[in-house]
Chains A and B, each alone.
Chain A
Amino acid sequence: MTTTRETSVQNYLAKVRSLLADLDYQEREEVLADLEAHLAELDPADPSQILGSPEEFVDELRATAGFYSGSRIDRRLRRVGAEIRNRWLAARPVWVGIRGWLAMAGLAILGSDPVFDPFPIPRLGNNPLWGVMAVVLATWLSYRLAQLADDGDRGWRAMERIVGALVAVLVLSAAPYGLYTEHWAVYTASRAAVHEREYLLGLLPENLEASDPQGRPLDGVVLYDQDGRPFDLVWLRRQLGVVVSPEEVSMDEYEPQPRVYPLDP
């Protein structure tokens, strides 16, 4: 059960926290941790009676700590800026974790032919294995860069900002292709075409042999379809995108004479 004394202390801390909202998150939390420990030692019924009002306490603290203590509007603006910065810092681990994958997905989208799978594993060179390896490497590099930047080196911090900007540009450039209709439609249509082609290839005979009623092979037999076109397996397979071997082509080199079906007597 929370006592009045505890409530009074918590309210005091909350007020101080809000008055220091323009400070860097870590600095503010250090100050509040010090103050909380101090109040625990004092154990006051009302902190304001010992420390003065939260406003007085913060004014005195700002003056001696060298914290910014400009006009109210300035402080409010700085508070908004600090809030954005703090939210960004809270979200940073997520960004560090996904930016490597985002970069690889962006590269896969921009560099791939229409038949690709950018999500969840980007294909690099249309190869998912390369994609997995690239994502693992990029994620490791992302964490390493964050570690170096967190160590406080200005050069690495600048490098991290540049990398972040490049990834953002890459993602923004790739997003229309990855998300919007045209490219996605091409992708979907290509997928459908691939499935149709695979279906037709499954139906298509790979070879046809003519034989007499005794089963002896007949040479020089030419087959025609119902429209009088020579039945050319090589041509058909080429139309479906199959790479036909030279041996198969040499077997099909002769030129059949066009006839009209049903055959003229």
Chain B
Amino acid sequence: MDTTQLLKGVLDAAVLAVLDRAPTYGYDLVKRLREAGLEEVGDASVYGTLRRLYRAGLLTSELVPSTEGPTRKYYGLNRAGKEHLEAARKAWSEFSTVMTRLLEGEESE
């Protein structure tokens, strides 16, 4: 199944969840998302999502010099970002419960 369309709806939450563990830069973020199982996530999608979340005031950014290459811009969650992630967790939990029930043919209580 093509999960690209599914991914579009949850990429914000996925990016926020990775950044909640520790601030990181774009390249590392893409790598972590793919290692977590979202192999189809596009580089441009991750950077586009980062820019949108940053413009929405949910992220912090900080330039950190690197010994291995160019200066890296680390993105992290601010308070609004953490609140947004918490709301996304709750929404996903409810949504996934409903979808699981539907897909497994269970009747709602």
From B68, which residue of chain A is reached at the shortest CB distance? A41
Beta-carbon contacts under 8 Å, A215-256 to B: none
In Å, the complex CA distance between A34 and B73 comes to: 7
Complex contacts, B11 vs chain A, CB 8 Å: 64
From B45, which residue of chain A is reached at the shortest CB distance? A64
B27 engages A41 (CB within 8 Å): yes
Check B78 for interface membership: any CB of A closer than 8 A. no
B27 engages A65 (CB within 8 Å): no
From B15, which residue of chain A is reached at the shortest CB distance? A64
In Å, the complex CA distance between A35 and B43 comes to: 9
Tell whether A34 pairs with B70 under 8 Å between CB atoms, given A57-B44, A60-B42, A64-B52: no
Beta-carbon contacts under 8 Å, B42-71 to A: 42-52, 55, 69-71
Q: Given A35, A42, A52, which contacts B47 in the complex, CB threshold below 8 Å?
A: A35
B45 engages A42 (CB within 8 Å): no
B52 engages A38 (CB within 8 Å): no
Complex contacts, B44 vs chain A, CB 8 Å: 51-52, 56-58, 60-61, 64
Interface centre among B44, B50, B51 (most CB of A within 10 A): B44
Beta-carbon contacts under 8 Å, A1-34 to B: 27, 30-31, 33-34
From A27, which residue of chain B is reached at the shortest CB distance? B51
Check A37 for interface membership: any CB of B closer than 8 A. yes
Per-residue contact bits, chain A 110-153, to B (CB 8 Å; 1 contact, 0 not): 00000000000000000000000000000000000000000000
A38 engages B47 (CB within 8 Å): yes
A61 engages B47 (CB within 8 Å): yes
Complex contacts, B46 vs chain A, CB 8 Å: 64
In Å, the complex CA distance between A64 and B44 comes to: 8
A65 engages B73 (CB within 8 Å): no
From A62, which residue of chain B is reached at the shortest CB distance? B48
B-binding residues in A (CB < 8 A): 27, 30-31, 33-38, 40-42, 50-52, 56-58, 60-67
A-binding residues in B (CB < 8 A): 8, 11, 25-27, 30, 42-52, 55, 69-73
A-B interface, 8 closest residue pairs, ranked by CB to CB distance from nearest: A64-B48, A65-B48, A60-B44, A41-B27, A61-B44, A61-B48, A65-B51, A64-B45
With A60-B42, A67-B48 given, name 15 new contacts (CB 8 A).
A36-B70, A37-B70, A38-B27, A42-B27, A51-B43, A56-B44, A58-B44, A61-B44, A63-B48, A64-B8, A64-B46, A64-B52, A65-B47, A65-B51, A66-B55
